[in-house]
Amino acid sequence: MATVYDFTVKDRSGNDVSLKDYEGKVLLIVNTATGCGFTPHYDPLEAMYKELKDKGFEILDFPCNQFANQAPGDEEEIHNFCTMKFGTEFPQFAKLNVNGDDADPLFAYLATEKPFEGFGKGLKNLSLKKFSDMNNKEFGDKAYVKWNFTKFLVDRSGKVIARFEPTVDMKEVKAAVEAELGK
């Protein structure tokens, strides 16, 4: 059975990084964008990282420009924005695609393990769904991720155990991370 440890990704400089390097840690893998309405998620993500990294937790940040061109810069520009505006210290990787024929294999795997189940209820969630549906129409059955700041929780054995859409309250995400760290 495959795990996230079977994948290799690119760091910000284009070097290969085996996710096996993170074996034994609880991971939160996130596709991000610097110009998105959910960009403020960087604040609670960084706070969670600072609080929990010494307990075996890592956040892996993958910028993606497939959602309304909300991550237009190169890796260095994106990294500078995140570190200067939000003080992020967790690992940030090369920009990638999460949907379509060019989707990074890691994200195709993550989304296959934990498929999209909806944005939830409420007017904000319904309007995001409409915008997401329009944006993802071109990807058909390869629209693995529906919007920026989708988060995948991975246990210490490399198994994908939860998916959090950007509309999920970050307190809920943190509670799930803490529960997994406590196992």
How many domains would you assign to the chain? 1
Q: Which of 29, 30, 36, 111 is catalytic?
A: 36
- The predicted pLDDT at position 20 comes to 97
Q: Residue 125 — very low, low, confident or very high, per pLDDT cuts 50/70/90?
A: confident
Least confident of 35-44, 50-59, 165-174: 35-44
36 in active site: yes
Indicate the SS3 state at residue 119.
Answer: coil
Task: Specify the pTM.
Answer: 0.93
Helices 42-52 & 170-181, crossing angle to 10 degrees? Answer: 20
- The predicted pLDDT at position 140 comes to 81
Q: Residue 112 — very low, low, confident or very high, per pLDDT cuts 50/70/90?
A: very high
pLDDT score of 124 more than 80: no
Report in angstroms the alpha-carbon separations of 24 from 56, 80, 126, 155: 8, 29, 37, 8
Q: Using CA atoms, how far apart are residues 97 and 56, in angstroms rounded to an integer?
A: 27
Edge-to-edge, what's the strand order for the sheet holding 160-164? 57-63, 26-32, 151-154, 160-164
pLDDT score of 119 more than 80: yes
- The predicted pLDDT at position 80 comes to 82
Q: Give the structural domain span for 131.
A: 4-181
- Which residue spans within the chain are E strands per DSSP? 8-10, 16-18, 26-32, 57-63, 151-154, 160-164
CATH of the domain at 91: 3.40.30.10
What would the pLDDT profile of 49-89 be if each residue is shown by its tens digit? 999 999 999 999 999 999 888 888 888 888 888 888 888 99
Q: Using CA atoms, how far apart are residues 36 and 86, in angstroms rounded to an integer?
A: 14
Contact 147, 134 (CB under 8 A): no
